[in-house]
């Protein structure tokens, strides 16, 4: 089953959404409870908990999306390298082929 956050964000299909919400929940609990234990002010602790949720969720969202973009770039580079390896293997453009001095001359 899919879980939609705020009615439009499908947490199951969007990359990094599930982890961001989970880490945001933990961050909210830690910040809110920590503030309550220090100050014993309930309403202010709720405010800090909401702020902790937003900051933790957005922070992990950007971190996760950055790593996902880096991974996709590396995958694209590897794919192109493999395609070039297959394309140039055995030809004169193959960088692994040993070049000898008499390849260019027929006589």
pTM over 0.75, yes/no = no
Q: Residue 4 is inside which H or E element, if any?
A: strand 4-5
For residue 56, count CB atoms less than 10 angstroms from its CB and return exposed for 0-12, middle for 13-18, buried for 19 or more: buried
Q: How far is 90 from 92, CA to CA, in rounded Å?
A: 7
Task: Write down the pLDDT at residue 90.
Answer: 72
Q: How far is 90 from 100, CA to CA, in rounded Å?
A: 14
Task: Write down the pLDDT at residue 16.
Answer: 86
Rounded alpha-carbon distances, angstroms, from residue 57 to 12, 23, 36, 42, 54? 16, 6, 21, 22, 5
Residue 2 has pLDDT above 70, yes or no: no
Mean pLDDT of the 57-86 span: 91
């Amino acid at each position: 089953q899919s879980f939609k956050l705020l009615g439009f964000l499908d947490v199951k299909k969007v990359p990094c959404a599930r982890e961001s919400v989970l880490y945001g929940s933990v961050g909210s609990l830690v910040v809110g409870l920590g503030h309550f234990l220090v100050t014993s002010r309930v309403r202010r602790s709720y405010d800090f908990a909401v702020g902790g949720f937003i900051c933790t969720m957005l922070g992990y969202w950007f971190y996760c999306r950055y790593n996902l973009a880096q991974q996709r770039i590396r995958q694209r580079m590897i794919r192109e390298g493999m395609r070039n390896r297959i394309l140039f293997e055995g030809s004169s453009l193959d960088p692994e082929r040993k070049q000898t001095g008499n390849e260019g001359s027929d006589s």
